Amino acid sequence: MKERRVGALRKLLKVSLTGLKKCVTVDFPFGPPAFVAPIFRGQPEYDEEKCMGCVACSMQCSASAIKYVDEDGKRVLTVYLSRCIYCGRCQLICPQDEAIKLSQNWNLVTDKVDSVVSTITIDLRKCENCGTYFMPDKQVGAIIDRIKEKLEDSALKEQILHDVELASHYCPDCRKKLAIKLNLHTRKYV
Amino acid sequence: MLGWKKWARTRSPWIFHAHCGGCNGCDIEIAAALTPRYDVERIGIVLTNNPRYADIMVVTGIVPKAMVPVIKRVYNQMTDPKGVVAVGACATTGGVFLKDDDNPTYTFGGPVDKAIPVDVYVPGCPPKPEAIIVGIAQCIQKALAKD
């Protein structure tokens, strides 16, 4: 007990004496800002290469700061930073290994509320039958990759991959309509 | 007036801190800006408890319905020229308390800009003390630097 008290006292003395060595005040508005901790959560930013546009971040967002619009074959994901509470749930839930990541940028001061945003634009895939846009291109690729991983050395591997590749060109409605024509029904596996 | 008024007004802005139903996170960051680490008083920014002496009002929190008339009254008590800085996600847009745009929390009186005109928004939950200092500096340039 006594040792701990002496240790605490020594620590206190050490901390109080550091103030004598140098000026602790940060000369901020005229000089560089203070040290930013590595765990600091700042502006969320999208990774152009990794992000596939699955909008998992938008669904998970606790302040509904992440919104998306599907228009003219593009999906635009926008993080409204004035609404964001920097909880990091988007980064945690992202299936693509941190395609959205909270950076160290803290300087987001503005005079227009909706002007501070992080955005990303992703191409959507067009249905070859009816011409509607139904899913991001990269997400289709990611799903096929995941199916490949799961299949490993299945006997039906080639057949399944062929069917998946064929079905990936059509929207869900057309897939149902063309199931017999393209022979996509899973009954043949049995 | 040879820029005398502008010089005097931008020299030492006095801050009135209006706490409108926040979680105290932003308020502690404002207090942190006054500590020796950031020390805003060295550049002339002083906290005052009377809106009649204040040049800039710093608002934190979601502004509940009960606080809307109060904040309007406090804003009218301030002398011209005056500026308002909204600090934190709640004050700027509503943050987590406005998850559904049409159906906010039942005490929610709208973000600050629905009640009074806001000059500068400081997003963050809570913002860093540096960001608050930058916001106040921008507010001085925007609202107070008039001749």
Of B36, B42, B89, the CB nearest to A82: B89
Q: Is B59 exposed, middle or buried (0-12, 13-18, 19+ CB in 10 A)?
A: buried
Which of A147-161, A167-181, B53-67 bottoms out in mean pLDDT, i.e. has the lowest? Answer: A147-161
Query: What's the residue count for chain A?
Result: 190
Tens digit of each residue's pLDDT (9 = 90 or more) over A106-157: 989 998 888 889 999 999 999 998 889 989 999 999 999 998 888 887 778 8
| Residue of higher predicted confidence among B101 and A91 | A91
Interface contact B135, partner A, CB < 8 A: yes
Nearest CA in chain A to B95: A83
Q: Are the Cβ atoms of A108 and B124 closer than 8 angstroms?
A: yes
What is the distance between the alpha carbons of residues B74 and A167, in angstroms, rounded to a whole number? 64
**Cβ neighbours of B98 in A, within 8 Å:** 63-64, 83
- Which pLDDT score is estimated for B1? 66
Q: How many A×B Cβ pairs under 8 Å? A: 92
Nearest CA in chain B to A60: B99
Q: Are the Cβ atoms of A84 and B133 closer than 8 angstroms?
A: no
Pair of tokens at residue A131? 């011409």
CA-CA distances (angstroms) from residue A71 to A53, A133, A172?
Answer: 14, 9, 19
**Cβ neighbours of A85 in B, within 8 Å:** 89, 95-96, 125
Q: Are A44 and A106 in contact (CB under 8 A)?
A: no
Burial A120-152 (b: 16+ CB within 10 A, else e): bebebbbbeeeeebbbbbbbbebeeeeeeeeee
Tens digit of each residue's pLDDT (9 = 90 or more) over A12-38: 888 788 767 677 788 888 888 888 888
Of B43, B121, B130, the CB nearest to A110: B121
CA dihedral of A167, A173, A176, A181, whole degrees rounded to 10: -70
Complex confidence, ipTM? 0.86
Q: Are B122 and B86 in contact (CB under 8 A)?
A: yes
Q: Are A176 and A167 in contact (CB under 8 A)?
A: no
A interface with B, Cβ–Cβ below 8 Å: 24-26, 28-29, 33-34, 36, 62-64, 80-87, 106-113, 116
Tens digit of each residue's pLDDT (9 = 90 or more) over A31-90: 888 888 888 999 999 999 999 989 999 999 988 899 999 988 899 999 999 889 999 999
Interface contact B114, partner A, CB < 8 A: no
Instruction: Enter the pTM of the model.
Output: 0.84
Tens digit of each residue's pLDDT (9 = 90 or more) over B79-97: 988 999 999 998 998 888 8
Interface contact B120, partner A, CB < 8 A: yes
Q: Which of A146, A143, A129, A137 is nearest to A75 (CA)?
A: A137
Phi, psi of A141 (to 5 degrees): -60, -40
Phi, psi of A67 (to 5 degrees): -130, 155
